[in-house]
A = this chain, B = another copy of it.
Amino acid sequence: MALPQQVRLVEVGPRDGLQNESGPVIATAIKVELIERLAEAGLCHIESASFVSPKWVPQMGDGAEVMAGIRRKPGVIYSALAPNLKGLEAALAADVSEVAVFTAASEAFTQKNINCSVAESLERFAPLIERARAEGLRVRGYVSTTLGCPYAGEIAPSEVAAVSRDLYQLGCYEISLGDTIGVGTPLKAKRMLEAVSREIPMEHLAAHFHDTYGQALANLYAVLEEGIAVIDSSVSGLGGCPYARGASGNVATEDVLYMLNGLGIETGVNLDKLVATSCWISEQLNRPLTARVAQAIGCTAQPASESESESESESESDNTNH
């Protein structure tokens, strides 16, 4: 199957990434600068804030200040999570470009995570989506645990398809399919997507894969083959799911971009600027560089080609002429 010629990258680092940072609350100024750097690197859809109660997610308590602080770049979507009507009003007041809601394909996960059934979560979203659209805002829907659940284990593709269809019918313009705990592998990702795409046109679907088991790029390649052209990722691989022990979370934007560049797929994002942003935010958060591409390219200004050709030792220098 032909790969898409273009992919839209949805950068979730400032929200899905930072909200999982432990330690002290990150300064608003750092969040604002991160978002501005990402826009400058060419990302045109940046999930920038979450309008939830700071009681639940202290790291996201400054959503209004972040949104007010960003120098908006024309054409860039600055979206925010709005889990309920109160959150939506705050998001509207902060002049977000669009909002997002989330539920899951797993009943067990939804009960543990948002304390209601999947059906109840959809009922809660109906008036939110209606109000957002009345205000001219598009609503993006996230479906978690599409390739596995920490409680229920395997998730049937038909379950993912059913909740995705419901969210779509409620008025979400795009459904982002999350492998929340990163347990998926390529054929499972394909089969899940095939089931969902029987309900919703492919151009309204996005892949939101975590790299916990190192499978995200392989899974993304597999769904690109199926026609997916929207990918969620997080600069520097920021964030993650605390349920998956000691492991990374969102797939790193620079790792995805390196693959897309190699595949000849256009994104409009500049790899060097993105890696520089990855280095910068890692330094700000005192966090080791975990994205492979950032590690490989490194945080100096030197182009990779120069430095690589300077070295004299080599991995397979089992010299024959000795």
Of B3, B239, B292, B318, which one neighbours A247 at CB under 8 angstroms?
B292
Q: Is the CB of B186 within 8 A of A316?
A: no
Contact, CB under 8 Å: B114 / A320: yes
Q: How many residues from A make CB contacts under 8 Å with B?
A: 87
**Distance in Å from the Cβ of A304 to the closest Cβ of chain B?**
8
B214→A292 contact, CB < 8 A: yes
Chain copies in the assembly?
A: 2
Chain A residues within 8 Å of B, Cβ to Cβ: 3, 16, 19-20, 50, 52-53, 55-57, 60, 81, 83-84, 102, 112-116, 121, 124, 142, 144, 150-151, 153, 180-182, 184-188, 211-215, 217-218, 220-222, 239-249, 252, 255, 258-259, 261-264, 291-293, 295-298, 304-305, 307-309, 311, 313-322
Distance in angstroms from A59 CB to nearest chain B CB is 11
| With contact pairs A214-B292, A296-B213 given, residues A241 and B320 touching in the complex (Cβ less than 8 Å) | no
Main secondary structure of the interface of A (DSSP, over half): loop
Interchain Cβ contacts under 8 Å between A and B, 20 examples: A3-B187, A50-B318, A56-B318, A60-B318, A83-B320, A114-B321, A115-B321, A153-B305, A188-B262, A212-B292, A214-B217, A214-B258, A214-B291, A214-B293, A241-B314, A243-B308, A243-B311, A244-B296, A245-B308, A248-B292
A188-B262, A241-B314 known; 20 other A-B pairs, CB under 8 Å? Answer: A19-B318, A52-B322, A55-B322, A56-B318, A56-B319, A57-B317, A57-B318, A114-B319, A115-B320, A116-B320, A186-B262, A213-B292, A213-B293, A214-B217, A215-B292, A218-B221, A221-B221, A242-B311, A243-B308, A245-B304
